[in-house]
Structure 1
Amino acid sequence: METLKFENLPNAVAELQKVQSEILALLLNKAEQQQPEIETPIQLEDVVPITGLTKPTLYGYVQRNEIPYHKKGNRLYFFKTEIVDWIKTGKQKTLKELEAETDLYLSNKNKGLK
């Protein structure tokens, strides 16, 4: 670190102010990015195009508690992220994934028999 002389003090203060404003801008930018976006609830009519299911089918899923929903009074509310996550949980395994699982199970089972 270099020794600061009185003659260089104005330049040093200007440099500090510049760096301080850059740090402040970075912190403010990061704070804005970290604030979670508030998701608005959607109605059943908006869930139909997302899922491709009919209203009666969706009502049946709600009645059997098979789909994530929220109820306030007589109104049903859904959140798009919850619906998409619900759809993703129904992923079917490929033939290769099933074969790999079977091989792993059988190899572990055979180890215990010896």
Structure 2
Amino acid sequence: MEISSKLILVTPEELVSLIQHSVRQVIAEQTPKSLGTADKPLSIDEASSFLNIPKSTLYQFTSSRKIPFQKIGKKILFFKADLIQWVESGKKKTRKEIEEEGFGKKGGLR
């Protein structure tokens, strides 16, 4: 395998997101899959209930591809693990977290 010598710049948030995604992927690969309901796909009704959002909003998210889903024919399916990861990826930082990263109250660098 040849390693490229290109320099790739990412923000601290992007780096954290990449690391979290990689760790989740490794854990998922190493964790034995149970044959329980954890792997059972959710219907639009079940996903709507699980996320506590209206079905119409969920349909909008799927049509704009803002949420992970699977489509078999006309049926839209969701997996809990994908939905949980999607919700976690949208977490907004607190003021304290932003300030700890070196940004002042006015959005500029310290």
Deviant stretches of 4+, over 2 Å: 102-107
1:22 aligns with none
CA distance in 2 between partners of 1:36 and 1:80 (Å): 14
Bigger radius of gyration, 1 or 2?
1
Q: CA-atom RMSD, angstroms?
A: 2.0
Alpha-carbon shift at residue 70 of structure 1 (Å):
0.1
The one-character-per-residue Cα deviations of 1:57-103 (angstroms, maximum 9, x if unpaired) are 00000000000000010000100111111111111111111111234
The answer to which structure has the higher helix fraction is 1
In the alignment, structure 1 segments of 5+ residues that lack a partner are: 1-33, 108-114
1:37 equivalent to 2:34? Answer yes
How far apart are the structure 1 equivalents of 2:44 and 2:68?
A: 12
| Count of aligned positions | 74
Identity %: 30
TM-score normalized by the length of structure 1:
0.58
CA drift at 1:51? 1.1
